[in-house]
Amino acid sequence: ATAVMVEDYSDQPGWRGEPLFTPERFAEIAVEADRRGLQIAWAALRLGVDFLRLRRRTPEQLPARVGATLAGLGTTFVKLGQGLSLRWDLLPAPYREALARLHSNVPPFPGDQAIGTVERAFGQPIERLFAHFDGIPLAAASVAQIHTARLHDGRDVVVKITRPGIQAQVEADLRLLRRTLRIGQWLWPPLKRQRPLELADELAGFLRNEIDMRHEAQNMRRMASVIDPLAPVTLPHVIDPFVAHEVLVQERSRGAHLESAYGTPGAPALASALLDAYVHQLFGAGVFHADPHPGNLFVLQDGRLCLHDFGSIGVLDPASRLALGGMVEAIACNDAPAVLDTAIALGFFQP
């Protein structure tokens, strides 16, 4: 989208005298970047050896090795694998299937670390915050893992906790990415046409927002006003005031991943509900859930579709909505010049 509204972060560091990055913080990121560079190089070397060793004897093991390597390298590379798992035009099916497991099947971190993070975030022992807290995670993903809990008023909730050290790791990865892209542009000048540094900046903003649970809570509150009126679709709501930089408490939605409905009699209704929900978000509200991969779509026990993970939402201004609608119409009419015009209007290409 060309027009993305600026969110209000007046309550966050950097707006009221608290610096986002101090000299000490920059030094920490630099050290982490050097360490991560060695870690990434070693992982790439091991994967290259595995590829040479297995490609003739047991090539069927290679997709799992690629997935495990990306999972071991942490959030940034898990996100890369998740994106590649949706690219039917780039990867064969075994690799897509292996990388698709990164949507919801990432190794968890210990429960005692999760409890410590929650207690530090809210300044109280876990037993005062919750009537029950399950130290075994319900699920683990690239940014955070989820634990089930029960509030003292009896409500069942889930507690979303970011991975330890994730902020320093992401900043180091982004620093390495920009360094690599600069070298790539110097070695191959035509790369500049693809504006790789701008793409890296966009990725940086996306990742920094996604690892801040306060940002996700704000997105969830905003999306609730958009999705709540839709009867067949819902989302979990934030449990205030249990929101911090590293922790988010939300309603528990009991259901199964969307792929469990593939091929069932209820699948057409779910597909229709999902399409209608996105038409409403894109063209009606101008605010939409921007990360609808299969791991974030659930079917509830009552048959409703539930959207999860609001670390990233998109916002379209009226002009962009009109251009997007024109693109859909042009594609349906097989009007290639109009598709190009609307793509330029949306900012996909430079005029």
Give kind and range of the element (H or E) at residue 328.
Answer: helix 318-332
Structure tokens at 55: 């490609």
pLDDT, one tens digit per residue, over 207-243 is 888 889 999 999 999 999 999 999 899 999 999 999 9
Q: Could you give the CA distance from residue 15 to residue 23 in angstroms, rounded to a whole number?
A: 18
pTM of this structure: 0.74
Q: Are 317 and 298 in contact (CB under 8 A)?
A: no
Structure tokens at 276: 């209608």
Q: What is the pLDDT of residue 201?
A: 84
Q: Are 170 and 158 in contact (CB under 8 A)?
A: no
pLDDT, one tens digit per residue, over 280-333 is 999 999 999 988 877 789 999 888 999 998 988 999 999 999 999 999 999 999
Q: Amino acid letter at 268?
A: P
Compute the residue count for the chain.
351
Structure tokens at 351: 């005029």
Helix (H, G, I), strand (E, B) or coil at 157: strand
pLDDT, one tens digit per residue, over 87-125 is 777 778 888 888 887 776 678 899 999 999 999 999 999
Cα distances (angstroms) measured from residue 144 to each of 7, 165, 237, 246, 272? 22, 11, 18, 9, 30
Q: Are 177 and 203 in contact (CB under 8 A)?
A: yes
Where residue 166 falls (left for φ over 0; alpha for ψ -120 to 50; beta otherwise) is alpha
Residue 13 has pLDDT above 60, yes or no: no
Q: Could you give the CA distance from residue 166 to residue 76 in angstroms, rounded to a whole number?
A: 9
Q: How far apart are the first and last CA of the chain?
A: 16
Q: Which of 173, 212, 291, 309 is catalytic?
A: 291
Identify the DSSP state of 5: P
Cα distances (angstroms) measured from residue 221 to each of 54, 264, 313? 49, 32, 12
Task: Find the radius of gyration of the CA atoms of the chain.
Answer: 22
Structure tokens at 270: 């779910």
Q: What is the mean pLDDT of residues 173-186?
A: 84
Q: What is the mean pLDDT of residues 250-258?
A: 91
Helix (H, G, I), strand (E, B) or coil at 216: helix
Q: Could you give the CA distance from residue 271 to residue 350 in angstroms, rounded to a whole number?
A: 34
Q: Are 131 and 145 in contact (CB under 8 A)?
A: no
Residue 14 has pLDDT above 60, yes or no: no
Residue 291 known to be catalytic? yes
